[in-house]
Amino acid sequence: MSFEPLPDVDSFVASVSFGAGGLVPVIAQQWDSGEVLMMAWMDESALRDTIATGSATYFSRSRQSRWVKGETSGHVQRVRDIRIDCDGDTILLLVDQTGAACHTGDRTCFEHVGAR
Amino acid sequence: MSFEPLPDVDSFVASVSFGAGGLVPVIAQQWDSGEVLMMAWMDESALRDTIATGSATYFSRSRQSRWVKGETSGHVQRVRDIRIDCDGDTILLLVDQTGAACHTGDRTCFEHVGAR
């Protein structure tokens, strides 16, 4: 499996139902192990950059700015596949995560609740 | 792996950062295969019902009401594990999905974009 540029980026982007603030939630999943790594948000610009570069690019709601995942940490996400759900309002990225997905240094951002 | 009631439901619920409209996004993942099945939303009441019953219960933004996944279709999600992310604003449910997760009849709600 390898990431191929979408045949028609404009029609795909137009099919995405961006919600409040022009954002769509994006689930990042490690393509081979199936680990759900994190959830973040994209605006249209971040989505287009993700497609153009093959490197997951998100929009930070707290900083109100675009960020390339791993730009400072090196923990980049190379996109292997892009999927969208039946309502067009959630994106699933299959990625190859370098190092830790979480800023805490953990592989994924999710932890078992029972262990809290 | 089996679902055990949380040791302290109130403190867990209090730790969840519910966003706009009092909702938190929830990713449902098939516990054994790793398939990401769908993303939906919960309010506090749906989350408490999910924990109490072990059956995934969501909040419909379009209908503005609570729904038990599979209540009419029989395509229930039995919860095996509950995880929360580092910011407390996204929940990952590991579930055992009966039949199709998607109302379209597909196993998951996600489809490959390139095939659109």
Which residues constitute the domain of residue A68?
Answer: 26-97
Residue B114 pLDDT > 60:
no
- State how far the Cα of B112 lies from the Cα of A93, in Å rounded to an integer: 10
CA angle A116/B4/B9 to nearest 5° reads 50
> Is A20 in CB contact (< 8 Å) with chain B?
yes
Asked whether residue A92 is assigned to any structural domain, the reply reads yes
Please state which of the ranges A44-48, A103-107, B5-9, B63-67 shows the lowest mean pLDDT.
B5-9
| pTM for the model | 0.93
> Is A100 in CB contact (< 8 Å) with chain B?
no
CA angle A73/A76/A81 to nearest 5° reads 165
Under DSSP, the state recorded for A40 is E
What number is the ipTM of this complex? 0.92
Asked whether residue A14 is assigned to any structural domain, the reply reads no
Only one residue has tokens 């973040």, namely A40
Say how many domains are in chain A: 1
What pLDDT is recorded for position B84? Answer: 96
Asked whether residue B16 is assigned to any structural domain, the reply reads no
Domain harbouring A93, CATH code: 3.10.20.810
Residue A44 pLDDT > 90:
yes
Asked whether residue B67 is assigned to any structural domain, the reply reads yes
What pLDDT is recorded for position A1? Answer: 43
Asked whether residue B3 is assigned to any structural domain, the reply reads no
> Is A85 in CB contact (< 8 Å) with chain B?
yes
Asked whether residue B54 is assigned to any structural domain, the reply reads yes
- State how far the Cα of A45 lies from the Cα of B93, in Å rounded to an integer: 30
Asked whether residue A52 is assigned to any structural domain, the reply reads yes
Per-residue pLDDT of B32-53, as tens digits, reads 999 999 999 999 999 999 999 9
Please name which of A71, A59, A70, A72 lies closest in space to residue A97, comparing C-alpha atoms. Answer: A70
Cβ distance A12 to B116 less than 8 Å, yes or no, reads yes
Please state which of the ranges A20-34, B11-25, B101-115 shows the lowest mean pLDDT.
B101-115
Q: Are B49 and B77 in contact (CB under 8 A)?
A: no
Asked whether residue B9 is assigned to any structural domain, the reply reads no
- Choose between B82 and B114: higher pLDDT: B82
Which residues of A44-98 form beta strands (DSSP E)?
A: 57-60, 65-68, 77-85, 91-97
